[in-house]
Amino acid sequence: MTPTLPGSDASPAGADRAGRPPRLALLPWGDLIEDFLDEIGVSIEDFSTQMTGGWLFGYVDALRLEGIRTTIFCFSARVDATIRHVHGATGAEVVLLRAPAAYRRVRRHIEDPYGWSVESMYGPTRWPARQWRRVARHVVPYLATPVAVLAREIAVSGTNVRISATKSITFLENL
């Protein structure tokens, strides 16, 4: 059964107000998808079409079994334009979005984008740059998301369900 919030206009089958079956937009954690894939030796193409296992595809498959279609949105510095694939094992749509130019420029100066300190993220840093980097360390990850392109692609994909997490409770709500 597809969960809905009280007061939702969703049908018992989970369709939205227009009668469309539920489609969820899923954005995996991390700045760029290749940060994860390079560590495990998987290409973007293999990830998008045939990789199995792990929490992401297990989650997508569980949603599919409940009648919820999923579109996975990932950001990459290795694609020149938006690329869409169908994941073979789950049938999910995988959409690769080009990381914004600003992020790609800043990223060239970062040793570890997931560093917990200025030094672990940027390497040894002298005082003037250290002050700027102390703030930038918290801002830079948000630059990896091409917000306008993501909003457009979410609309194009027909996404009509969002996940909202409040404390330890997660709700599925039809839009």
Per-domain boundaries in the chain? 21-99+145-164, 101-143
For residue 168, give every residue at least 6 positions away whose Cβ sits within 8 Å of its Cβ, in sequence order, or none: none
The parts of the chain modelled with pLDDT lower than 70 are 1-19, 162-175
What was the pLDDT predicted at 7? 38
What was the pLDDT predicted at 88? 92
- Which of 162, 1, 165 is CA-nearest to residue 70? 162
What was the pLDDT predicted at 138? 81
- Cβ atoms of 104 and 143 closer than 8 Å: no
The two three-digit tokens of residue 91, written as one number = 């049938």
- Which of 57, 64, 62, 76 is CA-nearest to residue 150? 76
What was the pLDDT predicted at 106? 87
What was the pLDDT predicted at 167? 42
Ramachandran assignment for 116, one of left (phi > 0), alpha (psi -120 to 50 degrees), beta (any other): alpha
DSSP 8-state symbol, 20: P
DSSP string computed for 127-142: HHHHHHHHHHHHHHHH
d(CA 149, CA 172): 24
d(CA 157, CA 125): 43
